[in-house]
Amino acid sequence: MITWLLIGGLALMWSAWASGSEMAWVSANPLHWEMWRHQYPRRWRLVQFFLNQPRRLIITLLVTNNLALVVFSVALSRLLAPLAPWLPHATFWIETLLGSLILLIAGEYLPKALFRQWQIALLPIVVPFTGLAYVLLLPLVEPLYRLTQGGYRLLGIEERTFFKPLSRESLAHFVENPEPQLQEILTKTLALSETPVREIMVPRREIVAVDISTPVDRLREIFITSGRSRVLVYERDLDHIVGYVYVRSLLKPAQSIRELTEPVGFVPESMPATRLLEQLVREKGALAVVVDARGGIAGIVTTEDLVEEVFGEIRDEREEPDHHERIISPDVFELDGALEIDYLNEKYNLGLPTEPAVTLGGLAVYILGAIPPKGTTFEAYGFRWEVVNATRRRVVTLRLYKL
């Protein structure tokens, strides 16, 4: 009895996985796949294999599900067998109704709802397991695929791919019809495609650089005092940059900076930020030197700078959060934009909405539809809001006056 109960439970989980996986595959939109392509480049070939041949994908999952259903039905029949002597004519109907109810709820509805809701988190698990199922069930999947392929050809039906490259038009559609938590990211992504790197770069005057003849010990001091993780290296002057040194390179034994220097790319200041980001990801680069129209060094752009344009400031895990909070009067609050609304409502009873934004600065951006500049004022949710400080990436400090 326990053995069949275990077999039935495993078969039900097997069926639930197949149903949920199908939902995760077919409901993922081009944006999800574009994110996947950059985040998991090694698995992208497997994803393309299924997206370009969706019948193979569907047949793999259907065969998996049907095998699970057969095993579950056998297990349920064995579990209900003791009822047969007392209910000889009703056992079949009990088995059919009970099995259908369990499979509909636990094997179809719940997994599909969960996998649709958490598809981004689950796809990294779904994809390799789907590939494994395809390999294990290859003797069953391939004959069925060939059979359906022949039928489709006779009917003149072409196989359609699930994957469509992410276009500007489709990205704009996601911005207009977004999941709330994606709206700000998508808006910034569109804006980034029109932003030249000169608007994002660290300007020349803020560059930390050393001459290639500088002693390694002196370079170590510069890293400590500047707090930077990378320092540019030049010969003669800053207009002749030869590369950069990463702080971890100091762990290597070296007699000169030249031994630690890594190559760096050069880009024009007019290059769109998205193109530079793609280039850095493709070449596994950390930064690029921006060159002005006269060939001089205008500044530098790091991968972190580009990512922060979309996702906001990235805090180093070693940094302790230092969120500003000040009660100027019982009706006036000066607060850090990174503070969570739930926390502020609980502490100060502000009564601000907790959706779709999580932080106070995010709520200001949601209300105005863009990152407001310093000095912006507006009224919302029973307060007059004043932007005390803001950068191009986020709202730093806000002052709220009760109305």
The more confidently predicted of residues 349 and 28 is 349
The more confidently predicted of residues 186 and 58 is 58
Tell me the two tokens of residue 59.
């047949």
Residue 77 to residue 192: CA distance in whole angstroms = 60
Which strand (E) or helix (H) includes residue 241?
Answer: strand 241-246
Structural domains of the chain sorted by starting position, each given as residue range(s) with its CATH number in brackets: 2-155 (no CATH), 197-311 (3.10.580.10), 325-402 (3.30.465.10)
Q: Is 311 helix (H, G, I), strand (E, B) or coil?
A: helix
Tell me the average pLDDT across 316-323: 48
Task: Convert the pLDDT of each residue in 132-143 to its tens digit.
Answer: 999 999 999 888
Tell me the average pLDDT across 105-116: 85
Task: Convert the pLDDT of each residue in 383-400 to its tens digit.
Answer: 999 999 887 667 889 999
Task: Convert the pLDDT of each residue in 230-248 to its tens digit.
Answer: 899 999 888 899 999 988 8
Does 94 have pLDDT greater than 50? yes
Residue 18 to residue 107: CA distance in whole angstroms = 9
Residue 15 to residue 112: CA distance in whole angstroms = 11
Q: What is the mean pLDDT of the chain?
A: 80
Answering whether pTM is above 0.85, one says no
Q: What pLDDT, on the 0 to 100 scale, is given for residue 327? A: 86
Task: Convert the pLDDT of each residue in 357-384 to its tens digit.
Answer: 778 888 888 888 777 888 899 999 999 9
Which strand (E) or helix (H) includes residue 334?
Answer: strand 332-336
Percent of the chain with pLDDT over 90: 12
Q: What pLDDT, on the 0 to 100 scale, is given for residue 319? A: 44
Residue 11 to residue 3: CA distance in whole angstroms = 12
Pair 175, 186: CB distance under 8 Å: yes
Q: What pLDDT, on the 0 to 100 scale, is given for residue 191? A: 61
Tell me the average pLDDT across 129-156: 84
318 pLDDT band, cuts 50/70/90, is very low
Residue 30 to residue 192: CA distance in whole angstroms = 18
Q: For residue 108, which of 26, 27, 18 has the smallest C-alpha distance?
A: 18
∠ Cα 126 131 136 (to 5°): 125
Pair 106, 18: CB distance under 8 Å: no
Distances (CA, A) of 91 to 80, 125, 172: 7, 39, 56
CA gyration radius for the chain? 29
Q: What pLDDT, on the 0 to 100 scale, is given for residue 317? A: 40
Q: What pLDDT, on the 0 to 100 scale, is given for residue 321? A: 47
Task: Convert the pLDDT of each residue in 159-213 to its tens digit.
Answer: 565 545 444 444 455 544 445 445 555 555 656 667 788 888 888 888 889 999 9
Question: Which range is most confident: 103-112, 127-136, 201-210?
Answer: 127-136
Tell me the average pLDDT across 293-297: 85
